[in-house]
A and B are shown apart, each in its own frame.
Chain A
Amino acid sequence: MDIFAQQLINGLVLGSVYALVALGYTLVYGILELINFAHGETTMMGSMIALAVIGALFGVAPDLPGIVIVLTGLLVAIPACMLLGYSIERVAYRPLRHAPRLAPLITAIGISIVLQNVAMLIWGKQYIAFPTTLLPQGRHEILGASITDVQIAILVLTVAIMAGLVILVNRTRLGRAMRATAQAPAVAQLMGVNVNAVISATFIIGSALAAIAGVMVSANYGQAHYYMGFLLGLKAFSAAVLGGIGNLAGAMLGGLLLGVIEALGAGYIGDLTGGFLGSHYQDIFAFMVLILVLTLKPSGLLGSKSVERA
């Protein structure tokens, strides 16, 4: 039982990060029907920028409380990623908005490769260590399972951000403009919605979430690397599709579900199949579920045609 509880916690922590990144994919898709493949790299940039600031600050003022140093890193990374997200949209997607749909997909992949290489040139090829001593190192036992302070923070923050996002989309002026743009960009423009501004805002919000997710990942695993965005982005994209791309709650559900499936899959597949399949089928297991869901319900778990988009 304690092992099951532990795997559940493992999955939820991993899934929270997937969910936060998946929200970025789903927001953009909801409005533009574009898969922003550079989103994983935005997460990586958030992580790297935060680490650079944290490292510099720790060098200059090691006496500051650790949490202040980490928060400063985060507060620099968020606007930096917002700017990055805005620029990506402005440079790589807006000029191609009326081009065939394959074109922005290719520029997305191009941007993602460019960002990886820029990060490699700035920060080098090495893994960068997150000074984990800066954060509380407490460990708690719940039902025989173990969870750290950082992991609790990840879970709480993810839920809070999700709630905030739902309020933003459903209750604010900007949210209404986003929903209108998602349903019919041309009509929204006729009704006085500044479509370009709304699309920019969407990228900016998604990028801010990516920055937060990036810092969470490096804080939890204690390291960051210029290549880390690739697999994370792929998994988060799958999570968004699993939950129904374009649907906010779907991204959240898909992320958490994918995390839990991976953890339970890796944890139990070896014992269940008598060692025939091992934990190295972790990824396959997750994607099998994805394929299954998509065959039975092509729009994803919570996906609907277009009414609830964004």
Chain B
Amino acid sequence: MKSSLLALSIALAVGLTVSACGDKKEGAAAGGNGPVKIGQSSPLTGPQAHIGKDNDNGARLAIDEINASKPVIGGKPVTFEVMSEDDQADPKTATIVAQRMVDAGIVGVIGHLNSGATIPAAKIYSDNNIPQISPSATAIKYTAQGFKTAYRVMTNDEQQGKVLGAYAAKLGKKVAIIDDQTAYGQGLAAEVEKAAKAAGAEVVAVEHTNDKASDFSAILTSIKGKAPDVIFFGGMDPQAAPINKQMRQLGMTAQLLGGDGMQTPKFIELAGADAEGAIASIPGLPLDKMPKGTDFKQKFEAKYGQIQLYAPYAYDAAYVMVDAMKRADSTDPAKYLPELAKTSYEGVTGKISFDAKGDLTSGPITLYKVQGGKWETLETVQP
């Protein structure tokens, strides 16, 4: 039994290596004729599917527009095609779909959505020299792995965490922190903790949950005993909403503060009246404050309905990628990658240019508060 299992896994491994080698050539040749494939990966099933589909829609809107403008690259008319893969917000699945897309001959990838999925997938894109632009992965580690192919069009957790931590300290002296143990939630929470302490606040509790949980009453009760003024949650809206609800059920009056994963219309819908007063940040300017924001909102909503979260970033990421191809006059990853590094693009989300690691050189962060059942802009902070 054991030896046959071993033989099977060796056969599988050999098979994978061979197919990977074989497909690399095919990938390079794919630029020649037929549509040029751009990968998109985000969770399209599971608890975060609504946010994942939002990214997909954002990228598709950009690619549809680009195709409609009949681009000519390298002297030939080019049409682009979005190849969308479901990474289930899972690191293991992310590496599998990354390999699948590379094998299918993509020339670049918009994704992934979650930091936890983006970080391991980045190695596969780097190994195959496929440029990657994540619309929403904010973990510091993503661009700190030393890969030349890794870029993002969103402020990282260090930048966002500094602003949120300082803001938490401004809201009250005692801060409690909960994270969902994902690369994103934990990374952001750690930065907030550092920044809040640096700003003179006392961190009275650090609790952890997970990204599938719905009962937080035990954690919150234990936090209640420490009487914090502010509770920061690093995680996504399906957990943020019940946390908010259960805080009120337990009679807690602390201010709930969160990052971009919580700043969604869904959060307000799920938390109902309890959402009132919650504060969350999102990198970039508010959509209605961006020069092309209202325009984007109209185009997007006409086609796909309400914007959930990162669609504008996925949209910008696709444009930034094609912009680099146009400047390089080639869809060959090896040729347009150097141009990607030199990007200076006026996107929907603001001005996009990259530092040596692939992070945004500058990025404003905007704080929002739920007022009258809507996220209203509180203030924009330059880190």
**B330 close to A (CB within 8 Å):** no
Which residue of the partner chain A has the closest CB to B210?
A280
Residue among B206, B209, B251 having the largest count of chain A Cβ atoms under 10 Å: B251
- Interface 1/0 per residue, A75-101 and B, CB below 8 Å: 000000000000000000000000000
Q: How far is the CB of B247 from chain A (nearest CB, A)?
A: 11
Distance of A149 Cα from B113 Cα, bound (Å): 39
Distance of A18 Cα from B145 Cα, bound (Å): 43
**B245 close to A (CB within 8 Å):** yes
Contact of B270 among A120, A127, A266 (CB under 8 A): A127
**A10 close to B (CB within 8 Å):** yes
Q: How far is the CB of A66 from chain B (nearest CB, A)?
A: 13
Contact of B49 among A125, A228, A279 (CB under 8 A): A125
**A11 close to B (CB within 8 Å):** yes
A266 engages B251 (CB within 8 Å) = no
B214 engages A223 (CB within 8 Å) = yes
- Interface 1/0 per residue, A117-148 and B, CB below 8 Å: 00010001111010111000001010000101
Which residue of the partner chain A has the closest CB to B268?
A129
Contact of A221 among B50, B214, B224 (CB under 8 A): B214
Contact of A222 among B49, B205, B218, B272 (CB under 8 A): B272
B222 engages A268 (CB within 8 Å) = yes
B209 engages A279 (CB within 8 Å) = yes
A129 engages B272 (CB within 8 Å) = yes
Which residue of the partner chain B has the closest CB to A235?
B215
Chain B residues contacting A266 (CB-CB under 8 Å) are 218-219, 222
B238 engages A280 (CB within 8 Å) = no
Tell me whether A129 and B269 are in contact in the complex, defined as CB-CB below 8 angstroms, given that A221-B242, A278-B206 are known contacts.
yes
Tell me whether A279 and B217 are in contact in the complex, defined as CB-CB below 8 angstroms, given that A3-B222, A222-B245, A225-B47 are known contacts.
no
Question: What 10 pairs across the A-B complex have the smallest Cβ distances?
Answer: A125-B49, A280-B208, A266-B218, A10-B217, A263-B218, A126-B50, A267-B222, A146-B251, A3-B225, A6-B221
Distance of A14 Cα from B217 Cα, bound (Å): 9
Which residue of the partner chain A has the closest CB to B179?
A280
Distance of A92 Cα from B273 Cα, bound (Å): 43
Distance of A264 Cα from B272 Cα, bound (Å): 28
**B197 close to A (CB within 8 Å):** no
B219 engages A6 (CB within 8 Å) = no
Q: How far is the CB of B1 from chain A (nearest CB, A)?
A: 17
- Interface 1/0 per residue, A229-263 and B, CB below 8 Å: 00100000000000000000000000000000011
A270 engages B241 (CB within 8 Å) = no
B218 engages A7 (CB within 8 Å) = yes
**B377 close to A (CB within 8 Å):** no
Residue among A222, A228, A282 having the largest count of chain B Cβ atoms under 10 Å: A222
Tell me whether A227 and B272 are in contact in the complex, defined as CB-CB below 8 angstroms, given that A127-B266, A267-B218, A280-B208 are known contacts.
no
A6 engages B47 (CB within 8 Å) = no
Q: How far is the CB of A233 from chain B (nearest CB, A)?
A: 13
Q: How far is the CB of B373 from chain A (nearest CB, A)?
A: 12
**B207 close to A (CB within 8 Å):** yes
A221 engages B46 (CB within 8 Å) = no
Please report the total number of B residues contacting A with Cβ < 8 Å: 39
Q: How far is the CB of A38 from chain B (nearest CB, A)?
A: 19
Distance of A271 Cα from B219 Cα, bound (Å): 12
Main DSSP-derived SS at the A contact region: helix
**B67 close to A (CB within 8 Å):** no
Contact of B207 among A120, A125, A146, A278 (CB under 8 A): A278
Tell me whether A227 and B47 are in contact in the complex, defined as CB-CB below 8 angstroms, given that A10-B218, A10-B221 are known contacts.
yes
Which residue of the partner chain B has the closest CB to A283?
B210
Distance of A210 Cα from B346 Cα, bound (Å): 53
**B181 close to A (CB within 8 Å):** yes
Tell me whether A223 and B218 are in contact in the complex, defined as CB-CB below 8 angstroms, given that A6-B250, A126-B266, A133-B272 are known contacts.
no
B214 engages A279 (CB within 8 Å) = no
B249 engages A148 (CB within 8 Å) = yes
Distance of A222 Cα from B44 Cα, bound (Å): 23
**B60 close to A (CB within 8 Å):** no
Distance of A31 Cα from B53 Cα, bound (Å): 44
A120 engages B222 (CB within 8 Å) = no
Q: How far is the CB of A289 from chain B (nearest CB, A)?
A: 15
Distance of A227 Cα from B214 Cα, bound (Å): 11
Which residue of the partner chain B has the closest CB to A222?
B245
B272 engages A141 (CB within 8 Å) = no
Chain B residues contacting A228 (CB-CB under 8 Å) are 214
Contact of A227 among B46, B53, B218, B245 (CB under 8 A): B46
A3 engages B210 (CB within 8 Å) = no
**B59 close to A (CB within 8 Å):** no
B249 engages A126 (CB within 8 Å) = no
Q: How far is the CB of A81 from chain B (nearest CB, A)?
A: 20
Distance of A131 Cα from B273 Cα, bound (Å): 10
Distance of A125 Cα from B321 Cα, bound (Å): 29
- Interface 1/0 per residue, B245-265 and A, CB below 8 Å: 110011100000000000000
Chain A residues contacting B212 (CB-CB under 8 Å) are 227, 231
Chain B residues contacting A267 (CB-CB under 8 Å) are 218-219, 221-222
Contact of A6 among B224, B237, B271 (CB under 8 A): B224
Chain A residues contacting B9 (CB-CB under 8 Å) are none
Chain B residues contacting A125 (CB-CB under 8 Å) are 44-46, 49-50, 53
B270 engages A280 (CB within 8 Å) = no
Q: How far is the CB of A113 from chain B (nearest CB, A)?
A: 12
B271 engages A262 (CB within 8 Å) = no
Chain A residues contacting B217 (CB-CB under 8 Å) are 10, 13-14, 263
B241 engages A222 (CB within 8 Å) = yes
Distance of A127 Cα from B224 Cα, bound (Å): 27
B241 engages A223 (CB within 8 Å) = yes
